[in-house]
Amino acid sequence: MGEQTTVKFPQDVIDEYAELGVDLNAIFSAGQLRDRMGVEIVEASAERVVGTMPVEGNTQPYGLLHGGASAVLAETLGSIGAMLHGGPSKIAVGVDLNCTHHRGVRNGLVTGVATPVHRGRTTATYEIVITDERDKRVCTARLTCLLRTSPGAPTGTAAS
Protein backbone atom coordinates (compact mmCIF):
# COMPACT_ATOMS: atom_id res chain seq x y z
CA MET A 1 0.00 0.00 0.00
CA GLY A 2 2.80 2.38 -0.68
CA GLU A 3 6.26 3.05 0.53
CA GLN A 4 6.93 3.00 4.29
CA THR A 5 7.84 6.39 5.69
CA THR A 6 10.53 6.84 8.30
CA VAL A 7 9.27 7.38 11.82
CA LYS A 8 10.54 10.60 13.35
CA PHE A 9 11.73 10.01 16.91
CA PRO A 10 13.72 12.46 19.02
CA GLN A 11 17.40 11.46 18.85
CA ASP A 12 17.71 10.99 22.63
CA VAL A 13 14.84 8.47 22.52
CA ILE A 14 16.44 6.57 19.62
CA ASP A 15 19.74 6.47 21.53
CA GLU A 16 18.10 5.30 24.77
CA TYR A 17 16.43 2.34 23.07
CA ALA A 18 19.45 1.57 20.85
CA GLU A 19 21.56 1.05 23.99
CA LEU A 20 19.16 -1.79 24.84
CA GLY A 21 19.43 -3.26 21.35
CA VAL A 22 15.96 -2.06 20.31
CA ASP A 23 15.34 -0.59 16.85
CA LEU A 24 12.43 1.82 17.39
CA ASN A 25 11.88 2.39 13.68
CA ALA A 26 11.41 -1.35 13.12
CA ILE A 27 9.08 -1.73 16.12
CA PHE A 28 6.90 1.24 15.22
CA SER A 29 6.69 0.70 11.48
CA ALA A 30 3.13 -0.45 12.33
CA GLY A 31 4.00 -4.10 11.59
CA GLN A 32 1.28 -6.08 9.86
CA LEU A 33 -1.13 -3.14 10.14
CA ARG A 34 0.90 -1.33 7.49
CA ASP A 35 0.32 -4.14 5.06
CA ARG A 36 -3.34 -4.63 5.93
CA MET A 37 -4.53 -1.08 6.55
CA GLY A 38 -1.82 1.21 5.24
CA VAL A 39 -1.04 2.83 8.60
CA GLU A 40 2.05 5.02 8.39
CA ILE A 41 3.69 6.55 11.46
CA VAL A 42 4.96 10.00 10.58
CA GLU A 43 6.11 11.39 13.94
CA ALA A 44 6.49 9.81 17.36
CA SER A 45 7.31 11.03 20.86
CA ALA A 46 5.61 10.70 24.25
CA GLU A 47 4.16 14.20 23.69
CA ARG A 48 2.78 13.70 20.17
CA VAL A 49 2.31 10.82 17.75
CA VAL A 50 1.14 11.41 14.18
CA GLY A 51 0.08 8.78 11.68
CA THR A 52 -1.90 8.43 8.47
CA MET A 53 -4.12 5.80 6.89
CA PRO A 54 -5.81 5.63 3.48
CA VAL A 55 -9.58 5.47 3.33
CA GLU A 56 -9.40 3.18 0.30
CA GLY A 57 -9.39 -0.44 1.43
CA ASN A 58 -10.65 0.50 4.90
CA THR A 59 -14.32 1.13 4.20
CA GLN A 60 -17.59 -0.45 5.33
CA PRO A 61 -20.29 -1.63 2.87
CA TYR A 62 -21.62 1.91 2.33
CA GLY A 63 -18.24 3.10 1.08
CA LEU A 64 -17.41 5.15 4.17
CA LEU A 65 -14.30 4.80 6.34
CA HIS A 66 -15.00 1.91 8.70
CA GLY A 67 -15.23 2.90 12.36
CA GLY A 68 -13.04 -0.08 13.23
CA ALA A 69 -10.34 1.26 10.93
CA SER A 70 -10.42 4.56 12.81
CA ALA A 71 -10.15 2.59 16.04
CA VAL A 72 -7.09 0.75 14.72
CA LEU A 73 -5.40 4.02 13.82
CA ALA A 74 -6.30 5.56 17.19
CA GLU A 75 -5.09 2.60 19.25
CA THR A 76 -1.88 2.35 17.25
CA LEU A 77 -1.00 6.01 17.80
CA GLY A 78 -2.03 6.13 21.47
CA SER A 79 -0.15 2.91 22.24
CA ILE A 80 3.03 4.27 20.70
CA GLY A 81 2.77 7.42 22.82
CA ALA A 82 2.12 5.39 25.97
CA MET A 83 5.05 3.08 25.31
CA LEU A 84 7.38 6.01 24.69
CA HIS A 85 6.14 7.61 27.91
CA GLY A 86 6.73 4.40 29.86
CA GLY A 87 10.23 4.06 28.49
CA PRO A 88 12.25 0.93 27.75
CA SER A 89 11.39 -0.74 31.06
CA LYS A 90 7.63 -0.71 30.35
CA ILE A 91 5.19 -2.15 27.85
CA ALA A 92 1.89 -0.43 27.09
CA VAL A 93 -1.27 -2.55 27.03
CA GLY A 94 -4.53 -0.95 25.92
CA VAL A 95 -7.30 -1.34 28.52
CA ASP A 96 -9.93 1.13 27.28
CA LEU A 97 -10.65 2.61 23.88
CA ASN A 98 -13.53 4.98 23.19
CA CYS A 99 -14.24 6.35 19.70
CA THR A 100 -16.79 8.94 18.63
CA HIS A 101 -17.31 9.09 14.86
CA HIS A 102 -18.25 12.59 13.72
CA ARG A 103 -18.45 12.38 9.93
CA GLY A 104 -18.04 9.97 7.08
CA VAL A 105 -15.11 9.94 4.68
CA ARG A 106 -15.23 8.23 1.28
CA ASN A 107 -11.70 8.74 -0.05
CA GLY A 108 -8.30 10.22 0.54
CA LEU A 109 -6.08 9.96 3.56
CA VAL A 110 -6.96 10.44 7.22
CA THR A 111 -4.45 11.73 9.76
CA GLY A 112 -4.46 10.95 13.46
CA VAL A 113 -2.71 12.97 16.15
CA ALA A 114 -2.33 11.50 19.63
CA THR A 115 -1.60 13.78 22.58
CA PRO A 116 -1.42 12.89 26.26
CA VAL A 117 -4.28 13.54 28.65
CA HIS A 118 -2.61 11.75 31.57
CA ARG A 119 0.87 10.26 31.89
CA GLY A 120 1.35 8.42 35.16
CA ARG A 121 3.52 5.62 36.52
CA THR A 122 1.03 2.82 35.83
CA THR A 123 -1.36 4.25 33.22
CA ALA A 124 -1.24 6.64 30.28
CA THR A 125 -4.25 8.14 28.52
CA TYR A 126 -4.11 9.73 25.08
CA GLU A 127 -6.65 11.69 23.07
CA ILE A 128 -6.48 10.90 19.37
CA VAL A 129 -8.05 13.27 16.84
CA ILE A 130 -8.50 11.90 13.33
CA THR A 131 -9.10 14.37 10.50
CA ASP A 132 -9.67 14.15 6.75
CA GLU A 133 -7.65 15.92 4.06
CA ARG A 134 -9.78 19.06 4.52
CA ASP A 135 -8.81 19.10 8.22
CA LYS A 136 -12.38 18.19 9.22
CA ARG A 137 -12.64 16.07 12.35
CA VAL A 138 -13.69 12.53 11.49
CA CYS A 139 -13.23 10.80 14.84
CA THR A 140 -12.23 11.62 18.39
CA ALA A 141 -10.83 8.74 20.44
CA ARG A 142 -9.46 8.24 23.93
CA LEU A 143 -7.12 5.37 24.76
CA THR A 144 -5.94 4.34 28.21
CA CYS A 145 -2.99 1.98 28.45
CA LEU A 146 -1.72 0.06 31.44
CA LEU A 147 2.06 0.41 31.78
CA ARG A 148 3.45 -2.97 32.79
CA THR A 149 7.02 -3.81 33.61
CA SER A 150 8.67 -5.32 30.56
CA PRO A 151 9.93 -8.88 31.01
CA GLY A 152 13.64 -8.69 31.70
CA ALA A 153 13.56 -4.96 32.47
CA PRO A 154 15.91 -3.68 35.13
CA THR A 155 14.10 -3.05 38.42
CA GLY A 156 13.85 0.41 39.89
CA THR A 157 13.11 2.16 36.56
CA ALA A 158 9.67 3.63 36.12
CA ALA A 159 7.98 6.32 34.14
CA SER A 160 7.62 9.64 35.89
Whether 19 is catalytic: no
Residue 43 identity: E
CB-based contact 105:118 (threshold 8 Å): no
Give the DSSP H/E element, type plus range, for residue 11.
helix 11-18
Give the DSSP H/E element, type plus range, for residue 123.
strand 123-131
The DSSP-derived string for 58-106 is -B-TTSSBPHHHHHHHHHHHHHHHHHHHH-TTEEEEEEEEEEEE-----
Counts for the chain of helices (H) and strands (E), in that order: 4, 6
d(CA 26, CA 114): 20
Query: 40, 75, 127, 133: which is the annotated catalytic residue?
Result: 75
CA trace torsion 27, 124, 19, 151 (10° rounding): -80
What residues are annotated to the active site?
Answer: 75
